[in-house]
Amino acid sequence: MFHNYYLVEITLPTTLKQDFLLWLNPHREEILKLSYFTHSTVWVEQNSKSEDEIKVEVRYFFQKDQDLQNYLKNEATRMRSQLPAVFKERLKFQRYSVRTEIL
């Protein structure tokens, strides 16, 4: 059985954690309403290299590669532009498409 997901890794100052997560949850729900993804998960971990940073991982699960391609083509730019100004220049983003197999 395979799982496909779009992984968004965000590195941010620990001081922004609470405000960012308050913004992220409704943003994530809005993305899920677009119907490209079946569900999502959020992971928060302390950065092992610095106590001043945390890493947030959001995994958006999709069924077909075309679903992700359609999201990236039709909606990603608009959804990314919704990031509040207070977070811009202070967050680092990395994005990946991941396919895993559950044995």
Please provide the distance, in angstroms rounded to a whole number, between the alpha carbons at the two ends of the chain. Answer: 7
Q: How confident is the model at residue 47 (pLDDT cuts 50, 70, 90)?
A: low
| Separation CA 101–CA 2 (nearest Å) | 4
Q: How many CA atoms lie within 13 A of 100 on its CB side?
A: 11
**For residue 75, which phi and psi values (nearest 5 degrees)?**
-130, -25
How far apart, in whole angstroms, are the C-alpha atoms of residue 89 and residue 78?
Answer: 18
Check pLDDT > 70 for residue 55.
yes
- Per-residue confidence (pLDDT) for residue 7, from 0 to 100: 97
Q: What's the maximum distance between 2 C-alpha atoms anywhere in the chain?
A: 43
Q: What are phi and psi of 74, to 5 degrees?
A: -100, -25
Region 41-70 average pLDDT? 91
- Tell me, what amino acid is at 46? Q
Mean pLDDT in the chain? 94
- Cα(100)–Cα(103) distance, rounded to whole angstroms? 10
pLDDT higher than threshold 80 for residue 48: no
* pTM listed for this prediction: 0.91
pLDDT digits (tens, 9 = 90+) for 18-36: 999 999 999 999 999 999 9
**Looking at the chain, how many residues does it have?**
103
